[in-house]
Chain A
């Protein structure tokens, strides 16, 4: 086996293990930490694909910012004692239905979709580096890129509106 293959299999094994620990862990904090580990391994996969920019952004945005907020909220909620209210039959049933639908969608995508092939002789290994990514984003996909940024702006304004303290609200 080549070194990259060994790396790939090791990374994949760690990714799957930590991802399954996310759903099986009893303690929510352990679960969040395992999720961070999973994001790390995904960044490792990006680096193996020579997409350094994506790897760094994945760590900064997901592992660095979003998961910190997750951890933050879970620490505030203090879920140490098993909360019986959130484990009624209805919630369990709903969780099973949602998970099952997601599984069906993913299986369907895998069955229908075809993998794009590439030509090893003409393939440039630099396709994932930041210069090429920027050129593609700002030349070929400029409109979707700008629309996505407007969507994010709208979401941010909405969040600020929801979180704003109204006159007469309780002051915490």
Chain B
């Protein structure tokens, strides 16, 4: 690796890192704007045009508030909790391919932090460590509500990790590789995995909600039962780190959903764009521009999923804890195992869309059961 390559790679990694932080920062603003839109009000609109400087104002407030550590708390672990949360959140975006490659002179540099042949397992490893931030912080606070929140977070994450892992096995079977770049490259053009794996996508999306502790699965910070959950005792930037880690996780899971199921930087008509651009602008510039367009397409998909996360948050109410556990253990794990088996049969007999069979059967079953269910008695309106 020579110096030019090293410099380009370094700049690339810094840019990706900065973009991750920027998007997470503006997700906080976007969430409040989306909430405002859904609830027919304005949302933040004081700091700058359309409240665009609101995240800066929030950060300033967070930094200058009193940094309080409870006297009975375990001091070092209390500080370690938010550090772990934000560290693991930032680590996971390293293996996501954000674009094809950059050509400079005769160098070809992929737009990705690092390419390893176990990419998706790396993401799983980092995600499974993320729960330590919550557990350590919740325990070290020396508060019963924090501890309960931490324990809820841990059991929820462990339960949903199983469904999470099983749902992508079907994709790994179809691709034959653990590298996210290889998975994305196989969905060239419009051959997105979504069309082969509809059930896997639904399971993966729901488990991603649970892993990010987002509504309807935000039981660890359920205000009605636990005050503030695992971050009850936190204030100032430590609380900020916890909240910020949630938004970074949201960005990373959106990126992974779009790379695994929505083709990553692939879009229909990409070959035509490549030919036109390389034909009119020369090989290197045309290639770089094509990469840029692909990256923008990927970011479009990521923004859609971030919006989807917010949309669901302001639409659905929170689950009850036993409902959450039943959904994870009794619905998603059997369904994803069934999905793996059916996909295996599909691969054996060369039926590409085998997994749709489960979806069709499930839809028919749901319709039959809702048709057979007794109709609720009509309540006469009291005057």
Which A residues are closer than 8 A to B by beta carbons?
A: 27, 29, 33, 36, 52-53, 56-57, 59-60, 63-65, 68-69, 71-72, 75-76, 129-131
Contact = CB atoms under 8 A, between A and B. Distances in A.
12 contacts: A56-B121, A56-B122, A60-B125, A64-B124, A64-B161, A65-B161, A68-B131, A72-B155, A75-B139, A75-B147, A130-B117, A130-B118
B81 to A, nearest CB: 11
B139 A60 contact: no
B124 A60 contact: yes
Given A59-B128, A71-B132, A72-B151, 12 more contacts: A27-B74, A33-B136, A53-B121, A60-B128, A63-B129, A64-B129, A68-B128, A68-B131, A68-B135, A68-B157, A71-B154, A72-B154
Contacts of B155: 72
Nearest to A74: B139
Interface in B120-143: 121-122, 124-125, 128-129, 131-132, 135-136, 139
A51 B124 CA distance: 17
B80 to A, nearest CB: 8
Interface of B: 74, 77, 116-118, 121-122, 124-125, 128-129, 131-132, 135-136, 139, 147, 150-151, 154-155, 157-158, 161, 178
B125 A59 contact: yes
A90 B116 CA distance: 51
A29 B77 contact: yes
Nearest to B138: A75
A52 B158 contact: no
Given A59-B128, A130-B117, A29 B151 contact: no
Counting from the closest, the 4 A-B pairs by CB-CB distance are A64-B128, A56-B121, A59-B125, A60-B125
- The dominant DSSP class at the B interface is helix
Given A33-B136, A69-B158, A72-B151, A52 B131 contact: no
Given A29-B77, A52-B118, A130-B178, A68 B125 contact: no
B77 A52 contact: no
A69 to B, nearest CB: 7
A1 to B, nearest CB: 21
A68 B132 contact: yes
A36 B122 CA distance: 17
Most buried by B among A29, A59, A63, A64: A64
Contacts of B135: 68, 71-72, 75
Contacts of B131: 64, 68
B121 A76 contact: no
A64 B118 CA distance: 17
A164 to B, nearest CB: 14
Nearest to A58: B125
Given A64-B125, A68-B135, A75 B150 contact: yes
Contacts of B117: 52, 129-131
Contacts of A64: 124-125, 128-129, 131, 161
Contacts of A56: 118, 121-122, 124-125
B335 to A, nearest CB: 19
A21 to B, nearest CB: 13
Nearest to A75: B139
Given A59-B125, A60-B121, A52 B116 contact: yes
B126 to A, nearest CB: 8
A69 B178 CA distance: 27
Given A68-B132, A130-B118, A75 B125 contact: no
B158 A68 contact: yes
A79 to B, nearest CB: 12
Nearest to A47: B116
